[in-house]
Chains A and B, each alone.
Chain A
Amino acid sequence: MTLVKVYVNYKKSILNPEAQAIHSALNRLGYSNISDVKLGKYFEITVDDDSKDIDSEINEICDKLLANVNMESYRYEIVEGANA
């Protein structure tokens, strides 16, 4: 078993209204030192050991499904031998 942690977020130039609304809510609550909020998606994907090339597979599923490459970028971490 291999655990892959995938983080998907909006590209820098794309507006994220939800993160903006949360940011201003935090400011209103008195957390005036908060200067930016990012909000994305986090996936934990468990891959069976017999997968041959995890990197290309993960890139493929991110491009195809997990991220909207028009607007989002992604990165991932491979956690070898995790008890997923």
Chain B
Amino acid sequence: MSNQQQATPEQIRDQKVYRGMGLTDYEYGLIKDNVLHRLPNYTEIGLYSGMWSEHCSYKNSKPVLKKFYTKGKRVVKGPGEGAGIIDIGDGQGVVFKAESHNHPSAVEPFQGATTGVGGILRDIFSMGARPIASLDSLRFGNVKNDADKYFISQIVAGISSYGNCIGVPTVGGDTAFDDAYQNNPLVNVMCVGLMNIDNMEVGAAAGAGNAIIYVGADTGRDGINGASFASAEFDSEHESQRSAVQVGDPFNEKLVMEGCLDVIDNHKDALVGIQDMGAAGLVSSSAEMGSKAGGNGMKLNLDLVPQREKGMSAFELMLSESQERMLLCVKAGKEDEVLKVFADHGVNAVVIGRVTDGSDYVLEHHGKVVANVPVDSLSADAPVYHRESKEPARIDQESPEQFDPEVSVPTETLRKMLSQPTIASKENIFKTYDTQVQTNTVVGPGSDAAVVRILHKNKAIAITTDVNGRYLYLNPRVGGQMAVAEAGRNVVASGAFPLGITDCLNFGNPEKPDQFYELDQAVMGMSEACEKLESPVISGNVSLNNEFDDVAIYPSPMVGMVGLIDDLKKVTTQDLKQANDLVYVLGKTGDDFNGSEIQRMQTGKVSGQLFNFDLDYEVKIQKLVQKAINDGLLNSAHDVSEGGLIVSIAESTFGNQLGVNLVSDLTAKQFFAETQSRFVVSVSEENREQFETLVGGDASLLGRVTNDNHLFVQTADSYFDMAVDEAYQTWKGALPCVLK
């Protein structure tokens, strides 16, 4: 890829060099015949290969993403611009977005994870917001050998090293294990920022003569063409792709962040636009900035780009994915003012070009024009594909028959369930994250949602990440609804109401109709749930081609939801608070086992028709919990999810080591059912009447909290009987044991 070896325009055409960069014959034809009306050169082909990759153009997912519910009176900025913004009152907004780093992490787990965290942080502060919390949604295969353990420990260490250093608390997330992710783990990072809405920044470069300023780390040959790499499938022989490793430098990012926020806060008049140099590096940030401004071109002198290595080609400079870099558009005449701010923060910043009249995107290198293309052709005019969709055979199940679990000794089944890696405590992972820096973390990892206080205000936000790929595997539409619903339950259980969601759509190959079907249906399902829960989609990210040797992962649209707690008194946790409180389950329980943890635990896989889900009933139950918390009736609330009711009850006892003495007309098996729309709540005696009047027939009284450190549940046919301490040790000790 060096200068000497670059193919000529004719060679590119004749030897189809573009194919190796991820462009199809059709796309090459578009560039040659419809856009440029001449043969593109090597640098130009490089620009298109980056910009027209799925990662930058969303060419396969755009028609699907249009189906998302994105409206809402609090939405200040919806999908499209980096991260979305939601109004939380007092002139403040929360900014949030999630990003996947699956492929880089599969190749180099530690650095893949660090650069994933770094990238999403830049998305947030480039909007003018200070990052206040991040969460990680991780999916791994079942741990079978030392290599698996090493891999997981490196991902976790990468997240820890970057987030801790930069001083953004990692307040939560979710981790699950399933063989579906064996060779294609998921590393999704969500970040939330807080801003004054007046400071909103748009990544646009407008006004001829304005300066384009490069900020941050030098450009090296890191991750050249990483965007098209991220959009490519993996197979057993991906060793050759290993040149694409980028190294994260959280210290430099901290300086870049403080410099950018200083410019945004204190030099607003000078700033026109700001953009993160993420996927497809300099070309992506500059072309998007130019395209968004509309009616202007851009001219960059690549000799001015700070370079870490000698002899880099224009192709390499434009497509490098070196980390910790930003691009700013600054008003003509104000360059020195901005450069000085960065110098004060110890950050390198240089003017590398200007906004021009016209619409040409022109690159000069060593005194020659090395690329000249219409600016819109790179970004706004990228091709869009409407892919074929076909229902996979496994989903077309005639019989709704549910799996019948074997629960002859319920206590033993509970013990086994608590030690499943997906169910077990993730404490040994999140203990390595700084969860408290910035001193606003009211509820850290391990509860339903993390709760982060808004400094100097009597309010907080609740944040969660969720998705159960098994449900989507059996039914992507209903599973998509469930993913949003579960996020909603987590936020509501913490005392919040939903504000909106972001997502990472982790799917297989969209060119395969059955895998495209999963994406399309999941988005529709998610959208339906978002509308019912009044929780619009404000940002997101798409990660396709999550395949290994032709087998796709479970469809896994990670949902990251943010809710608002409008009074700190309403903050609620899952922990039971005191003996004699009454324990209820809200919502109905059925024989719902297909796709459940117990089905996987006992059969090694999930199968059959996914159980029913009623979105309207879900909304009703969530509203009841919100009302009960608003009225101050609940001492604890915990959502029921993987593992079923008995797992939620057990988890409720752990925080304060309290026991329960419960009686139910459900069978022991049903205590493992994963019926949606349920919560375990505790209520003090004095609120009993008011609570029961509120919930009517939608809650069942199970019994009372005790202080004898014992978990006892009498079922219709049997009983669970376990010391809380023993249940806790089983649950807490399982993952360290697996990962040891």
Contact = CB atoms under 8 A, between A and B. Distances in A.
- Judge A-B direct contact (beta carbons within 8 Å): yes
Interface of A: 12-17, 20-21, 68, 70-71
B155 to A, nearest CB: 14
Contacts of B217: 15
For the complex of A and B, 3 pairs with smallest distance between CB atoms: A17-B249, A15-B247, A13-B221
B447 interface: no
B385 interface: no
Interface in B672-710: none
B596 interface: no
Nearest to A12: B309
A71 B248 CA distance: 13
A71 B108 CA distance: 9
Give the secondary structure class of B's interface.
loop
A15 B249 contact: yes
Interface string B241-258: 011011111011000000
B251 A21 contact: yes
Chain B CB count within 10 A is highest, among A21, A68, A70, A71, for: A70
A17 B318 CA distance: 22
A24 B119 CA distance: 25
Interface in B214-250: 217, 220-222, 242-243, 245-249
B108 A70 contact: yes
A15 B243 CA distance: 13
B568 interface: no
B157 interface: no
A20 B248 CA distance: 13
Given A15-B247, A20-B249, A68-B108, 13 more contacts: A12-B309, A13-B220, A13-B221, A14-B245, A15-B246, A15-B249, A17-B247, A17-B251, A70-B107, A70-B242, A70-B245, A71-B108, A71-B245
Given A70-B242, A70-B245, A13 B309 contact: yes
A67 to B, nearest CB: 13
Contacts of B221: 13
A14 B108 contact: no
B111 interface: yes
B425 interface: no
A35 to B, nearest CB: 13
B390 interface: no
Interface of B: 107-108, 111, 217, 220-222, 242-243, 245-249, 251-252, 308-309, 322-323
A15 to B, nearest CB: 4
B322 A15 contact: yes
A68 B247 CA distance: 13
Contacts, number: 37
5 contacts: A14-B245, A17-B252, A20-B249, A70-B242, A71-B111
A14 B243 CA distance: 9
B308 A15 contact: yes
A27 B252 CA distance: 17
A12 B242 CA distance: 15
A14 B247 contact: yes
A69 to B, nearest CB: 8
Nearest to B244: A70
Contacts of A68: 108
Nearest to A15: B247
B243 to A, nearest CB: 8
B340 to A, nearest CB: 19
B249 to A, nearest CB: 4
A15 B222 contact: yes
Contact of A13 (B222, B248, B323): B222
Contacts of B252: 17
Contacts of A15: 217, 220, 222, 246-247, 249, 308, 322-323
Contacts of B243: 13
Nearest to B252: A17
A13 B246 CA distance: 10
Contacts of B323: 15
A20 B255 CA distance: 14
A17 B161 CA distance: 13
Contacts of B249: 15, 17, 20
A71 B247 CA distance: 9
B251 A14 contact: no
A21 B247 CA distance: 14
Contacts of A20: 249
Contacts of A12: 309
Contacts of B308: 15
A71 to B, nearest CB: 5
A17 to B, nearest CB: 4
A14 B248 CA distance: 11
Contacts of B242: 70
Contacts of A17: 247-249, 251-252
A14 B222 contact: yes
Nearest to A71: B245
A78 B222 CA distance: 33
Nearest to B111: A71
Nearest to A24: B346
Nearest to B322: A15
A72 B111 CA distance: 13
Contacts of A16: 247
Contacts of A71: 108, 111, 245, 247
A70 to B, nearest CB: 5
Nearest to B107: A70
A41 to B, nearest CB: 15
A14 B249 CA distance: 12
A25 to B, nearest CB: 11
A21 B249 CA distance: 10
Nearest to B346: A24
